[in-house]
Structure 1
């Protein structure tokens, strides 16, 4: 049974209502609110750098940028490119609170990450409390919850925190993004963290925010941090 109020009745409603593609409104299929045509059009990120998930002509252990650097993460998996129809579904969740879109993306995430190296726990990248108050929910957490359940991973929500508010990264170039998030994350008091964690966010662009959070986890004693994201911009 769902751990949310009304979860049973929501699940019952989904079971009784016909599946409907959230991208084009055609009938859904295979247990998803996604039609076969839109499923075939999903922009899977199968060919990428294994260290930062940058799309490449062919899969590689490291891209040119990662070959000349020592990023704090051991590996990165971006399930999709940030392209249609995933980008549309993501915007519906992030800016309009569309939990049906979030549920579908969570199902696709579980499918795409089923073969990833399994961490001991999943850590969602947190919003600063001021941004959380403004938006009312955390889209990364809304995706991480069903993903953790599907992969049977503990969800460590509340141990990684943003110690200060930062400017929106979308307005900044790559160098400014790194400066903007430097020292922005902190680890809150609690039991020792597992040795291997996956840090989850919805979208990765340059990776500056995720890498800064991964660095905070490494400094707290985590031996291996993998980056998992819905989509790579």
Structure 2
């Protein structure tokens, strides 16, 4: 069943005072999240600077997997782990169309990259295949990216790349099968002139999706590709 936007609810979310999505208490910093719930979100730190995989100790070296097979993307910024409340926020957005979660997730991601990342020339949400879009009614990565673009005043690229293969759900597949499913899943629709692009996604698991998209962008002449994801699984 196609899920459409309920614009009345969305407008009300902007006009009403912020209320914590997780517990119902008053939000802080104009966000639908209270301070108590905010500080209990599980941070992804320390982690591999390249792929964002969690480390036990702080180190400037990339993880063993990245050393053995360097990803096409250059750096990953994923401030939270895909557990607990963060997992709930992402899942509720993705599968239950809780659009207000996208605004909060975008604010949290923008807050993190604003002080940790070099700003790109533009940001690009991971494209969703048109069949999946018709089924779901929206692209959760795009909804998050809209807030990030607005918060950081960055151009949002929705036209340069498309997903021309409707790949199966990746959730329960091993990493090798994920990579196989995503091979040549994306295509370039128009030339890209910028030298630095950040890919926006909700959650990064094995990195297969963003790696395939980054590979395409690098072949198109983009010098640096970063990944900005709300959470790392």
TM-score, scaled relative to structure 1? 0.91
Per the alignment, do residues 15 and 232 of structure 1 end up closer, same or farther by CA in structure 2, a change over 3 Å counting? closer
Q: Shift of the alpha carbon at 1:10?
A: 5.7
Gaps of 5+ in 1: none
Structure 2 portions without partners, runs of 5+: none
The structure whose RCO (Cα within 8 Å, separation 6+) is larger is 2
Mean Cα displacement is larger for which, 96-105 or 204-213? 96-105
Q: Aligned Cα RMSD in Å?
A: 2.0
Question: Deviating runs (4+, > 3 A) in structure 1?
Answer: 4-7, 13-16
Secondary structure, counterpart of 2:200 in structure 1:
strand
- Alignment-derived partner of residue 35 in structure 1: 34
CA distance in 2, matches of 1:120, 1:59: 29
Cα distance in 1 for partners of 2:163, 2:118 equals 27
Structure 1 residue 5 displacement after superposition: 11
Cα separation, 1, equivalents of 2:13 and 2:126? 29
Q: Compute the displacement of 1:155 (Å).
A: 0.6
Change (3 A) 1:6 1:208: closer
- Contact in 2 for aligned 1:50/1:59 (Cα 8 Å): no
Distance in 1, Cα, partners of 2:57 & 2:50: 14
Whole-angstrom distance in 2 between the partners of 1:90 and 1:121: 23
Give CA-to-partner distance per residue, 1:68-126, whole Å, 9 cap, x none. 22211111111211112111111111111111111111111111111211111101100
**Matches of 1:157 and 1:146, distance apart in 2:** 14
1:132-147 aligned at under 5 Å gives the runs 132-147=133-148
Q: Does 1:182 align with 2:183?
A: yes
Q: Secondary structure at the match of 2:65?
A: helix
Matched, 1:93 2:93: yes
Say yes or no: does 1:71 pair with 2:100.
Answer: no
Equivalent runs, 1:73-222 vs 2, <5 Å: 73-115=73-115, 116-189=117-190, 191-222=191-222
Q: Per-residue deviation at 1:48? A: 0.6
How far, CA to CA, are the matches of 2:70 and 2:45 in structure 1? 23
Q: How far is 1:45 from its partner? A: 1.5
Secondary structure at the residue paired with 1:76? Answer: strand
The question of whether the paired residues in 2 share the 8 Å contact of 1:130 and 1:165 is answered with yes
SS across alignment from 2:148: helix
2:43 equivalent in structure 1: 44
